[in-house]
Structure 1
Amino acid sequence: MDHFTRSSLNGFSAHSIDRIHLKRRDEKWIREQLEGSNARFIPLWQSKNLFAEAENPSPVLLSRAHLGESIDLAHSVTLLGEDGDRVYFAVDLPAEEDTPPSSLAELGKFQDLRRMSARLGRRDGALLAYARAIAHWHRRNRFCGDCGSPTAPHQGGHVRICTNPHCRQQHFPRTDPAVIVLVSAGEYCLLGRQTVWPKAMYSAIAGFVEPGESLEDAVVREVMEETGIEVTEVHYRSSQPWPFPSSIMLGFQAKGVKAPLQLNDDELEDARWFTREDMREAFKEGTLRVPTPFSIAYRLIEDWYDAEAATPLRDLSDIVAHIVKG
C-alpha cells in the first residue's frame, strides 16, 4: 500500500474537491458563484458545524436562499472549491453571539466536529474539516502580524492582505505540523494516555514539531521527553488533517529500545508496553480502549497489530465495538 492510499484511510483525508487555485483570483467569477444556484455553504458557529438532528446526523449544506441575510453577518466567507457542478464556501458566523441565527437553528444543531467525526462519511468529514480549518485561520489573522493594521481577505479567502498602504503584507493559511508515532520493540508496542482522555484510553505518542526540527528529530525527541525511551529507527506511514484547530498529523512507526518507562514532562498520566496478547486480554477486561478508527492513531496501532496477529484488529469487533470511543 503506498502512502497516498494509506493516508486516504484516515478520517478527514478522503475528499477529492478541486481547490481551483486559478479561479480564486477571479473576483467576478466568485461573486457570480456566491449568488448562483450551484453554490453550497457550510456554516460554522463557535467553531462548530451544523448537523441535521436525526438518528444518523448529516451535515447541513445551505443554498444561497437558505443562508439568507446570515451571509452579511459572517466574519469570513471562503471559497473552498468545486466538486462536480457544486461550488462550496465556508461561512463563519459571529461566535460572540450566545445563540446562532434563528433561521439556521431551525435546520439543525451546531455540534463539535471531533465528537461527530466517527459518524460521518469520509467525504463529508473531509469537507467539514477543510471549512473548519480555514475559518479558524481567518479568525486568528484579522490583524497584521507586522504592523497591527486590519487585514482583508483576497483570492476567495485564501490570503489576507494588510490594509496599511505602507505595509501590504500578505498572510497565507498556516498548518501546524505534529508527529504521532507507534513505537515498537520486538513483540511490544508503546502506548500512553493523558489524564483528560476517557477511562482506559491509550494511544500512540504525539507532539508538535518545533522550529528548525526535522520530522524524524521530532519523533525521537517527543518519545524521549514523554517516556524516556530511545528511538533507533523512524519510518513514515501516513498523514491526517486535524483541524483542532489547525494541525496536520504526520504518522510514523518507529523501533525503540525496550526499557523502563520514565514519564518526565507530565504530558502523560501513564504509558505501558503492550504485546498483542496483552491488548486482547485488556480489551476483554475493559481496561484498554483505543482511539476511533477515524483517527490516524488507530491506523498506526492497527498496522502494527495486524503485522503479526492471526486475527486482524478490525475483526475483534465483538470486543472493540463497545470500547472504541471518539
Structure 2
Amino acid sequence: DPEWLRAQRRDPGARALVLGDAGVRSSGSALEYVPLDDVVEQARRMDDLVLLGVDAHGPLYAVDEDPPPHGVRAPLVGAGGMRGEPAPEAAERLGVRSAAQVLSQAEGGLVAYATGLLNWHRATRFCGVCGGATTSGEGGTSRTCDVCGTGHHPRTDPVVIMLVADEQGDRVLLGRQSAWPARRYSTLAGFVSPGESLEEAVAREVLEEVGVLVGVPEYHSSQPWPFPCSLMLGFVVPYRSGDIGGTDDELQDARWFSRDEVREAALDDSWDHPPEGDGLLLPPRSAIARRLIESWVER
C-alpha cells in the first residue's frame, strides 16, 4: 500500500538503523536507533529506505551509509567488521560477528535482516535480464527494472552445515581453513546445488571435503548468515566408512577429535584472540557450528 508506506515515513517516531561497510552504528555494545529525519539525507532517494517493520515505538528503517557509486562493484555491508574488529575510523560501528555475540537474539536477528536486505540492494542495482538500472519499491522488499519492468526480490541461498559423528558417539570430524586462527576447527559446510535435496547435499559435501561416507542426517537447527544471503541448515550426521581425504582445496586439514577434547575446548569462546596453548579451538558461541558441537557434547 503506497499510501501506508508514505505514512510510515512521515511518522514522527520513525527511527533507523544505520549500516555500512564496517558494520552497524552503535553506542558501545548497544544498537543506536537514530531518528529517521536525521539520516534521510544519506539515502539517495526516499525510495532507498528499507522498512524493517513497525514496533511499539513506530516504524524502523535501515539506511546504507556507504552506498556504492554508479558502476562500482559493491562490497558487502558489514564485511569490514565481520570479525568484530571495525576499522579505526569507524570505532562506533559494531561488527556483524560482535553483534551476534553481544546483542539479544531479537536485536541480533534484526541486524542480520537489515544486513541481508542492504546487501541484496547493493547487488541488485542493475537488472539481470537486460542490464538496466533498478528502482527500490514496496518498502525496500523489491526492485523493478526501469527498462524492461522485470521485478526482483531478495533471495536466500541454502547452505548445509553438518557435524559428522562416529557411530559410537565418542568422536567428531572437524575441518579447518588456512585463513582461520591456528588450532581453530569447525564443522563442515557447503551450498546446496540446484535440484539437490538437503540430505543429498550433506552426503556430497562431506564426501568432497573429507572423503568419507555418511548415513542419514538428523536436522538440528538453522541460522541466517547475510553474507550475502545464506541460510545455514544444521545437521548431525553419522559416519559410515572411509578414510579422511577429499578433493576440496578449501580445507587445510580435517581430523577426528574425542569428546574430552571437544568438551575442554567448549570452555573457551575467544575467536579473535585465542589463548595460548596447543588445544582445539572452536567457533564462537553465536555460530550455529558451535551450537551443533555443544549439542553433541551434551548428549
Pick the TM interval, shorter chain: 0.7 to 0.9
Partner SS, residue 257 of structure 1 = strand
Residue 38 and residue 106 in structure 1: after superposition, are their counterparts in 2 closer, same or farther (change >3 A)? farther
| Residue aligning to 1:242 | 225
Partner SS, residue 216 of structure 2 = strand
Residue 287 and residue 74 in structure 1: after superposition, are their counterparts in 2 closer, same or farther (change >3 A)? farther
- Contact kept in structure 2, 1:180 and 1:207, CA below 8 Å: yes
Matched, 1:269 2:252: yes
Q: CA deviation at 1:299?
A: 0.9
Residue 108 and residue 74 in structure 1: after superposition, are their counterparts in 2 closer, same or farther (change >3 A)? farther
The structure 1 residue matched to 2:289, chosen from 297, 317, 320, is 297
Amino acid at match of 2:159: A
Matched, 1:154 2:126: no
Partner SS, residue 217 of structure 2 = strand
Deviations 1:6-29 (A, max 9, x none): xxxxxxxxxxxxxxxxxxxx2122
Deviations 1:144-201 (A, max 9, x none): 111111111111111111112xx21111100111110011112221111111112211
| Residue aligning to 1:123 | 106
C-alpha separation between the residues in 2 aligned to 1:82 and 1:39?
A: 9
Please show how residues 1-326 of structure 1 align to structure 2 within 5 Å.
26-46=1-21, 48-52=23-27, 54=28, 57-67=29-39, 69-72=41-44, 76-96=48-68, 109-164=92-147, 167-185=148-166, 186=168, 187-280=170-263, 286-307=278-299
Alignment TM-score, normalising by the size of structure 1: 0.76
C-alpha separation between the residues in 2 aligned to 1:93 and 1:203?
A: 34
Residue 306 and residue 86 in structure 1: after superposition, are their counterparts in 2 closer, same or farther (change >3 A)? same
Deviations 1:22-67 (A, max 9, x none): xxxx212212211312211111122621121x3xx21111112432
C-alpha separation between the residues in 2 aligned to 1:163 and 1:294?
A: 40
Residue 27 and residue 47 in structure 1: after superposition, are their counterparts in 2 closer, same or farther (change >3 A)? farther
Between stretches 254-263 and 63-72, larger displacement belongs to 63-72
Amino acid at match of 2:294: E
C-alpha separation between the residues in 2 aligned to 1:267 and 1:106?
A: 32
Q: How many residues are treated as equivalent by the alignment?
A: 270
Q: CA deviation at 1:263?
A: 3.9
Q: CA deviation at 1:228?
A: 0.4
Q: CA deviation at 1:225?
A: 0.3
Q: CA deviation at 1:95?
A: 3.9
Q: CA deviation at 1:128?
A: 0.9
Partner SS, residue 161 of structure 1 = strand
Partner SS, residue 201 of structure 1 = coil
The share of aligned pairs that are identical, in percent, is 41
Residue 191 and residue 135 in structure 1: after superposition, are their counterparts in 2 closer, same or farther (change >3 A)? same
- Contact kept in structure 2, 1:158 and 1:172, CA below 8 Å: yes
C-alpha separation between the residues in 2 aligned to 1:303 and 1:279?
A: 11
- Contact kept in structure 1, 2:11 and 2:59, CA below 8 Å: no
- Contact kept in structure 2, 1:74 and 1:92, CA below 8 Å: no
Amino acid at match of 1:122: Q
Q: CA deviation at 1:306?
A: 0.7
Q: Per chain length, whose mean CA-contact separation is higher, i.e. which structure has more relative contact order (CA < 8 Å, sep 6+)?
A: 1
Residue 90 and residue 36 in structure 1: after superposition, are their counterparts in 2 closer, same or farther (change >3 A)? same
Aligned-residue CA RMSD in angstroms?
2.4
- Contact kept in structure 1, 2:15 and 2:58, CA below 8 Å: yes
The gaps in structure 1 that reach 5 residues or longer are: 1-25, 98-104, 308-326
C-alpha separation between the residues in 1 aligned to 2:57 and 2:249?
A: 50
Deviations 1:274-297 (A, max 9, x none): 121233466795421111111111
| Residue aligning to 2:84 | none
